[in-house]
Each structure stands twice: as C-alpha cells, then as structure tokens.
Amino acid sequence: MSFLKRMGLFSRAEASIDTLTSLRLESVRFRKLLALCREMMDLAQDGQEKYRGEYILDRHYVITLVDAVLDRLSSFTTNSLFLLPEQADKRFETLDVLKKHAVVLEKTGNLVPRLKPSESEGSPESSPHQEPEYQLLAKALQWMDGGELPEDEDVLHWVLDLLERMVVEPTRPVADPSGLTTLELDTQCTNNRIEFADLTLPSGADTSSTTESPSLHCRPFVLMLIGAEEDEKKEDNSALSSEEATKRFQNWFAVADADHLDLRRVGTTSPLRLVASISGHEASDFIFLYGPRDQKLEERLGDAFRVQTTGRGFMAWMVGESPDETERNLIQLGKQLFAPSEKTEHSDGSTALGTPNPHGVG
C-alpha cells in the first residue's frame, strides 16, 4: 500500500466562514510579524558588518539605520496586539522607552560606548573605531542587539521574546472546528494526526463529498509529504512489527493555501512551528522554524538557515534561496518532522537537514 493511501481521512465538514476568515487573518499577520523581525535582524547585521569592515561612515547612515529599525519596531508592536493582546499597555511603554533611546542616539553624536580594543593595525588612537560616527554606530548596535542596555531596552531580544510567546502560547483554540479536516499520516515510527484548515476553499464551501485531500492543494505540505515518503522507502519493512509497540504519536494543526503553510505541533510541552512560503519567487520564498533546543533539531539544519537561540528554544530562517533549495529543505523537514527517528542518516553519512551547518547556533 502506498504512503499516500495510508494517509487516512477521519472527518471533513462544511467550512465555516468565520473560522476560515479568522485563520486566514491570523496566518497573514503572523507572516507579517516574521517578515518585520527578519528585516530588523538584517538591519542589525548590516550595521555590524559596517562596523567590523571599517567602512567610511557618516552620521546619516546611523540615523537612517535607527529610523528603519524604529519603523519596523512600531509596526511589529501594533501587529502583535492582534495575536497577543495581553499586556498591551506594558508593550507600548517598552516601545516608548526604546523610542526615547533612539531619539538620544539621533540627537547626540558624541556618546562613547565601551568598545573592544581595535583589531586593526596601528595604535588605538589611529583606529577608525575611535571616530564619532563609529562610536555612534556602536551605541546604536547596542540598542538594537544587547550590550550595556537592560534587556527590556534591547530591540531584538524584546522582539524575539514576543515572537516566541506567540509560538509557545497560542492566543486561543479554534472556536469553530467545523471548517477543519482531520488527517492521519502514518509513518514507520510515528503516527501524525493533523487538523487541517484549507484556505484555498471558498468560505462556506461544502467539502463533505470531495475525495481529494485538501492538504494536496498546498505545495509546501506536499513537499514535506514527499520527504516523509522517501524516508519510508528507506526503512526496513521487516522491522515494522517490532517497532509498533514504541510508535510515537504527534498532533498537528495546519493552516494552508496553495503557496503557504503554517504548521504547529500541539498538545505537547515541546511546541514546534513551521511557516513556509514557496511561490517560485526567491524574494518572497522562505522557511521559518521554531523548536525546542532539547531535541537538537537546530543542529541538523542546513547552512542556508540563520539560527537564533531564544529563551525557551530556537528560531531559524531561510530566506532568499533558490526555489530548488527551498523545496529541497522542505522535503528534508518533512522527513525529520513527520517521520522522525533516533538517527536519520543520509547517503553522505551525515544526519543533517540538508547541508550540515558549520556555523552552529547564532
């Protein structure tokens, strides 16, 4: 029996207009928050590269950099209220504190941070890092990503903490499950039960007489199924009976349309979330993954991923890669998430998702 035929369909019902509309808005807003967070990380990285590379800087670059971060930070804070409405007043208070630090940076060009000794040749007095523009940039980077400022006044740590809360602490369960399809994905070692909301269906559409699985409308999900199926073909079927007793169970909730997938592992103390977009355009295609550190999943990601540790886990982004690379990584993720084993070994002897990451965790 083929892999896809073993994907059982438990239930399918009339799609609720309110349910699908709510899920569609939440999915779009979360992708917006991911994009804003990633842009702030990119801006901080650009500033760090400028600082390390001893570029010829002017004050305008630093001010423009701070303004760009502030613009995205304000949008991130406002959009976060839709998914995490608790403590809104405190959130805006923190935003105001961060804005006040930015105003000081923009108005004052002679702030002197504690700089590391220059690694460039010559005396410290001759280093460009002693120039006022470099000192201002160093202070701006501390404001963006740590340094001497308290943690609640550090832009990226505060943003990543909010983003993690949205992953770990979902705002609310689906109020009306009537628009969902329940799927069972049965692999050699794992039984996956997936509540699936198909946003490609018209609101109010009756899918009860449809035989095709709605999950097959979603390209990222299909690629993950391919990965799980490839892993199945490599397993020794003779070992199936001996492993049935130790088969693991995973519950998932997925929201998807043709090009986007938002997949969450639920009902566990180790939450996991994958968000992917694959439309064939490098600028818009991406994969985001959040998971717990205790399973070491971040160490098995390919080097196309940027990995950031958080308070309770890790976040990983893959952006701007070719469509082939994005597809290949989704296939590998399907293998790792839907058909996990103690050790998934590839032909080159590695156990990584894609190419082994030589950079470790950032």
Q: Please list the rounded mean pLDDT of every run of 10 residues in the chain (362 residues).
A: 48 58 87 94 92 79 93 96 89 91 75 43 54 85 73 80 84 54 83 85 51 69 88 53 65 91 88 90 87 82 89 91 91 90 43 40 40
Per the structure block, which two tokens stand in for 53? Answer: 């590379």
What pLDDT shows up at residue 119?
44
Q: What is the DSSP string of 23-87?
A: HHHHHHHHHHHHHHHHHHHHHHHHHHHHHHTT----HHHHHHHHHHHHHHHHHHHHHHHHH--TT
| CB burial string 301-337: b at 16+ within 10 A, e below | bbebbbbbebeebbbbbbbebeeebbbbbbbbbbbbb
Per the structure block, which two tokens stand in for 15? Answer: 């799609």
Q: How far apart are CA 57 and CA 132, in angstroms?
A: 10
What pLDDT shows up at residue 188?
79
Per the structure block, which two tokens stand in for 112? Answer: 């002197």
Query: What residues does 194 pair with on adjacent strands?
Result: 183, 252
Q: How far apart are CA 79 and CA 359, in angstroms?
A: 32
What pLDDT shows up at residue 238?
45
What pLDDT shows up at residue 21?
80
Where does residue 15 rank: exposed (0-12), middle (13-18), buried (19+ CB within 10 A)?
buried
What pLDDT shows up at residue 75?
96
What pLDDT shows up at residue 71?
96
Residue 97: Cβ within 10 Å count: 15
Identify the three-state secondary structure at position 321. coil
